């Protein structure tokens, strides 16, 4: 062998060894160094290894040098080498060169097309990739599993799910899904699309599943919120494969998301990390740190943190957030101080998160000023995001003046910093300082500060807070003129504004005009229609969201449609949504479960409500409250107390809402014994000073007949609302104490509280009980002429009863005929009853005609009319009415009474 041949052989051996070892930089360095010393004639495998190395290091200059060498050697005509060249330039983001080389290829197989498609997918050019796929098909090149996998990756970035489904259909028809790699790609695609039920079916039907398949399913389940299923899959995987480092990291993150309930699983995973001998770098240690922090095991987290050989900014952030979660504010501030002296130094991100933590934990002025000092000392006062977070922290603490001063200090240097202007605007809006917010907006305009999407969202929040629909429409016009109508956050805020202001037509028009809708905009419209009394439209939107735009509903969507179905009251829809929620696993979501329980309670289907309640994975106080409220509000108040006792046995702490629901149950049952027990518990829990609880106690004791206790609690209320006064007035009125009602009404007026229609209803009802017509008429005139309160149907019914009992039937009839609204069934029924007692058949017939027009099959009013005719001697007419009642099969509802026993 000659010297030249021996050198070539040695060089080829060295290049091959470096390629086999995966030393890309060493391989390229040896090749180019040898090329400068003497001519090098690599073969196809070496060229492929060199191009692979160039792609791995993403060096365009290296790829260009190799291209020149390959062109000289004539290997560019080799389809395999040419494909590798295309792949290398694609990896280097030089798609123009890659495309030119691709077009120059004399022969293009599936691998060459795949190289181009991969480049388009990697560079995020979905449209180009899809166009190339169509071109590939027109050239008669049949796609293989790699092609379909790349296309699935492209489809994952496109909102139209039909593209991915088309690729899936092609794979089923032509490849029978026997390839594990393609199966994994389909699993990943459907997980990203939110169709986790489809990915699970594909996974179960795969003939061969490798560690990647399992990892894809575990990750997908976790990302879709089914965390316990992810842990279950991990345990099943261990029966077939040993977990790799990625599996263990994913499981640790899942356990961190679950929290305390997954402590045992997380600690077992930590043990596997040690047992399997994985070398833990900073990333793996951070995963462990995150798990222990999320589970509240701060001692273990601190121990891991202290033992870390190297820490990054993420490590500090995780530990600080862990102490934030445990509400250890002093620890948070100490860590920030320690980090300021570390090698890493305090970052702007850390200062921002620390300020957010102080706001979240309700830290006082002293804590915010402590971080403010660190900001000044470390020179971050000129950082826009730190300064805006500082302004927000002061505002969240109610220190509006300090927020304004911090803003003024910054604005003196940068007058048009939109982020800080927005931060102060948001402070004013959150603290209901609407006049200051408007003045601030004028200052923004004067200082030529540009208005961005955040400004618009704050402006819309201001309009929504004041229910100013006109200003919202002005902002809408501003958005159209300044091209902000494509910003999803601004559009969503505008939709919410129209929804809150009841402008459903405008909201629908805006929704239809949105060029690209996402799940948030669909959800906003679903809830808009529900809250404004269009449940049918809301249900229809729920279906269109899936059929038209291909979005799978999330928890927010499901809550909206449950509320709509509860309003509509159709049994089939109720059963459908129950099945949908349980099959898709939404019962693990607290808000969905609570909405479903409320819906079933409203339908009086407590068996299904209990089934949802029992299937909920974690029963919070809110879920228990929902169950108690369901029993209290919908006819089974006697079952609310046993649920409360079970709640105590489960060591779930009751809150304010719990006691309000229980008080409602006791009041519904008129159970003084039960009310006294709950009152005792409320006092022990420290809620007796709450205005809402106090008002409920006043109402409860008054309804149960203990007026002295009701008055004692009422007098002890530090802050009395109009509802508190109404409750006490009603209590006296129901028990016939008209004198106390008059005195209390005078005190209410002296206190400055404005009476409402309910106040006058209670007073006039009290006058009706004692037959004081003049007083009742006086209060009616006072209501309409002095306070300009419009009477409701219930008040008109009470007034008709008052006038009718005293024999002033013409006055009663005149009030009902000339009233500001249709009196309704009860008012005409009260007048009919009075006419029967007074024997006035003329007005009685007028009242009867109105009653029977509103409710022709009401048993009681038909018999009342029959008795009136009989007493007037019209026996034939009375007999006809009786026969009609019998023919319609109307039955009088049986009365019932309840006697409370004291043990």
Contact 232, 200 (CB under 8 A): no
Q: Which residues of the chain have pLDDT under 50?
A: 1-4, 901-903
User: What is the distance between the alpha carbons of residues 175 and 178, in angstroms, rounded to a whole number?
Assistant: 7
- C-alpha pair distances (Å), 844 with each of 583, 601, 801, 810, 829: 58, 40, 13, 11, 10
Residue 574 lies in a domain: yes
Residue 146 lies in a domain: no
Q: What's the CA angle centered on 560, arms 555 and 565, to 5 degrees?
A: 120
* Per-residue pLDDT tens over the stretch 136-195: 777 777 777 777 777 777 776 666 677 777 777 777 777 666 677 777 777 877 877 777
User: What is the distance between the alpha carbons of residues 194 and 551, in angstroms, rounded to a whole number?
Assistant: 8
- C-alpha pair distances (Å), 550 with each of 163, 169, 519, 547, 680: 11, 17, 10, 6, 54
* Per-residue pLDDT tens over the stretch 513-554: 877 778 888 888 888 888 888 888 888 888 888 887 778 888
Q: Which H or E run includes 647?
A: helix 640-649
Question: In sequence order, what DSSP letters do the residues of 167-185 get, joined into one string?
Answer: HHHHHHHHHTT--HHHHHH
- For 539, the token pair is 């249900």
- C-alpha pair distances (Å), 571 with each of 558, 592, 605, 615, 695: 17, 19, 10, 21, 37
State residue 902's pLDDT score.
40
User: What is the distance between the alpha carbons of residues 60 and 48, in angstroms, rounded to a whole number?
Assistant: 16
State residue 557's pLDDT score.
86
pTM of the prediction? Answer: 0.58
Closest CA to 253 of 314, 339, 183, 200: 314
Q: Which H or E run includes 235?
A: helix 227-237
Closest CA to 625 of 576, 678, 650, 661: 661
Residue 737 lies in a domain: no
Residue 435 C-alpha from the chain's centroid:
30
- For 703, the token pair is 């309804």
Q: What's the CA angle centered on 614, arms 608 and 618, to 5 degrees?
A: 135
Residue 554's domain comprises 530-596
State residue 788's pLDDT score.
77
Residue 584 lies in a domain: yes
Residue 428 lies in a domain: no
HEC assignment per residue over 580-623: HHHHCCHHHCHHHHHHHHHHHHHCCCHHHHHHHHHHCCCCCHHH
Number of structural domains in the chain: 1
HEC assignment per residue over 19-75: HHHCCHHHHHHHHHHHHHHCCCCCCHHHHHHHHHHHHHHCCHHHHHHHHHHHHHHCH
Q: What's the CA angle centered on 150, arms 144 and 151, to 5 degrees?
A: 90
- For 674, the token pair is 């039960």
165 DSSP assignment: H
Residue 544 lies in a domain: yes
User: What is the distance between the alpha carbons of residues 804 and 811, in angstroms, rounded to a whole number?
Assistant: 8
User: What is the distance between the alpha carbons of residues 573 and 311, in angstroms, rounded to a whole number?
Assistant: 54
Residue 535 lies in a domain: yes
Residue 832 lies in a domain: no
Contact 367, 332 (CB under 8 A): no
For residue 619, how many other CB atoms are within 10 A of its CB?
Answer: 16
* Per-residue pLDDT tens over the stretch 24-44: 676 667 666 666 656 656 667
State residue 544's pLDDT score.
87
What Rg value do the Cα atoms of the chain yield, rounded?
A: 37
Contact 105, 112 (CB under 8 A): yes
User: What is the distance between the alpha carbons of residues 229 and 457, in angstroms, rounded to a whole number?
Assistant: 38
């Amino acid at each position: 062998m000659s010297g030249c041949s021996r050198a070539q052989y040695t060089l080829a051996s060295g290049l091959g060894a470096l390629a086999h070892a995966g030393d890309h930089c060493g391989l390229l360095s040896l090749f180019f160094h040898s090329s400068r010393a003497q001519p090098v004639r690599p073969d196809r495998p070496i060229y492929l290894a060199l191009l692979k190395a160039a792609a791995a290091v993403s060096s365009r200059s290296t790829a260009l040098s190799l291209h020149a060498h390959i062109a000289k050697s004539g290997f560019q005509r080799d389809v395999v080498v040419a494909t590798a060249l295309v792949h290398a330039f694609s990896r280097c983001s030089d798609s123009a060169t890659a495309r030119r080389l691709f077009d120059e290829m004399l022969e293009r197989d599936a691998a060459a097309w795949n190289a181009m498609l991969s480049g388009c997918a990697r560079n995020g050019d979905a449209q180009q990739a899809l166009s190339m796929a169509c071109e590939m098909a027109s050239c008669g090149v049949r796609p293989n599993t790699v092609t379909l996998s790349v296309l699935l990756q492209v489809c994952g970035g496109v909102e139209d799910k039909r593209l991915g489904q088309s690729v899936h259909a092609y794979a089923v028809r032509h490849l029978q899904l026997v390839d594990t790699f393609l199966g994994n790609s389909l699993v990943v695609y459907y997980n990203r699309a939110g169709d986790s039920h489809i990915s699970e079916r594909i996974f179960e039907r795969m003939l061969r599943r490798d560690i990647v398949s399992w990892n894809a399913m575990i990750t997908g389940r976790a990302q879709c919120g089914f965390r316990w299923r992810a842990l279950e899959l991990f345990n099943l995987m261990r029966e077939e494969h040993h977990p790799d480092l990625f599996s263990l990291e994913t499981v640790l993150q899942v356990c961190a998301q679950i929290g305390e309930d997954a402590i045992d699983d997380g600690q077992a995973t930590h043990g596997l990390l040690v047992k399997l001998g994985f070398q833990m770098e900073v990333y793996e240690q951070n995963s462990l740190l995150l798990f222990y922090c999320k589970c509240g095991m701060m001692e273990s987290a601190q121990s891991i943190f202290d033992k870390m050989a190297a820490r990054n900014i993420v490590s500090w952030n995780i530990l600080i957030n862990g102490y934030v979660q445990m509400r250890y504010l002093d620890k948070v501030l100490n860590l920030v101080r320690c980090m300021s002296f570390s090698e890493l130094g305090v970052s702007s991100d850390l200062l921002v998160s620390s300020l957010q933590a102080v706001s979240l934990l309700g830290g006082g002025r002293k804590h915010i000023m402590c971080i403010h000092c660190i900001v000044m000392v470390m020179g971050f006062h000129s950082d826009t995001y730190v300064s805006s977070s500082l302004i927000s922290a002061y505002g969240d603490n109610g220190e509006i003046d300090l927020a304004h001063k911090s803003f003024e200090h910054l604005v003196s240097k940068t007058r048009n910093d939109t982020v800080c202007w927005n931060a102060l605007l948001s402070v004013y809006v959150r603290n209901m300082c609407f006049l200051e917010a408007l003045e601030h907006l004028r200052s923004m305009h004067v200082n030529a500060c540009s208005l961005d999407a955040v400004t618009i969202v704050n402006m819309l929040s201001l309009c929504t807070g004041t229910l100013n629909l006109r200003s919202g429409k002005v902002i809408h016009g501003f958005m159209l003129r300044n091209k902000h109508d494509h910003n999803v956050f601004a559009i969503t805020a505008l939709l919410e504004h129209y929804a809150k202001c009841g402008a459903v037509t405008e909201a629908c028009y805006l929704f239809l005009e949105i060029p690209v809708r996402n799940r948030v905009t669909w959800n906003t419209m679903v809830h808009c229609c529900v809250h404004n009394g269009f449940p049918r439209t809301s249900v229809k939107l729920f279906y269109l969201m899936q059929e038209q735009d291909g979005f799978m509903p999330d928890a927010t969507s499901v809550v909206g449609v449950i509320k709509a179905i509860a309003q509509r009251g159709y049994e089939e829809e109720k059963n459908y949504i129950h099945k949908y929620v349980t099959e898709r696993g939404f019962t693990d979501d607290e808000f969905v479960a609570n909405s479903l329980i409320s819906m079933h309670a409203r339908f009086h289907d407590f068996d299904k409500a209990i089934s949802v309640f029992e299937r909920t994975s974690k029963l919070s106080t809110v879920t228990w409250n929902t169950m108690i409220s369901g029993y209290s509000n919908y006819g089974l108040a006697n079952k609310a107390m046993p649920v409360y006792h079970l709640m105590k046995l489960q060591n779930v702490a009751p809150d304010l809402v719990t006691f309000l629901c229980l008080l409602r149950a006791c009041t519904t049952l008129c159970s003084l014994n039960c009310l006294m027990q709950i009152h005792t518990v409320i006092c022990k829990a420290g809620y007796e000073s709450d205005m809402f609880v106090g008002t409920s106690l006043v109402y409860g004791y008054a309804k149960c007949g203990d007026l002295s206790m009701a008055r004692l609690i009422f007098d002890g209320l530090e802050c009395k609302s109009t509802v508190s006064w109404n409750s006490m007035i009603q209590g006296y009125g129901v028990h016939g104490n008209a004198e106390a009602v008059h005195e209390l009404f005078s005190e209410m007026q002296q206190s400055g509280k404005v009476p409402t229609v309910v106040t006058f209803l209670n007073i006039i009802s009290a006058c009706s009980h004692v037959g004081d017509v003049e007083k009742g008429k006086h209060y009616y005139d006072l209501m309409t002429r002095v306070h300009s309160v419009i009477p409701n149907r219930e008040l008109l019914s009470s007034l008709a009863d008052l006038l009718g009992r005293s024999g002033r039937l013409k006055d009663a009839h005149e009030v009902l005929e000339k009233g500001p609204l249709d009196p309704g069934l009860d008012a005409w029924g009260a007048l009919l009853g009075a006419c029967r007692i007074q024997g006035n058949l003329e007005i009685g017939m007028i009242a009867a005609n109105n009653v029977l027009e509103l409710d022709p099959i009401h048993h009681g009013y038909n018999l009342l009319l029959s008795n009136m005719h009989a007493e007037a001697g019209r026996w034939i007419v009375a007999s006809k009415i009786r026969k009609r009642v019998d023919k319609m099969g109307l039955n009088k509802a049986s009365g019932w009474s309840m006697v409370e026993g004291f043990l």
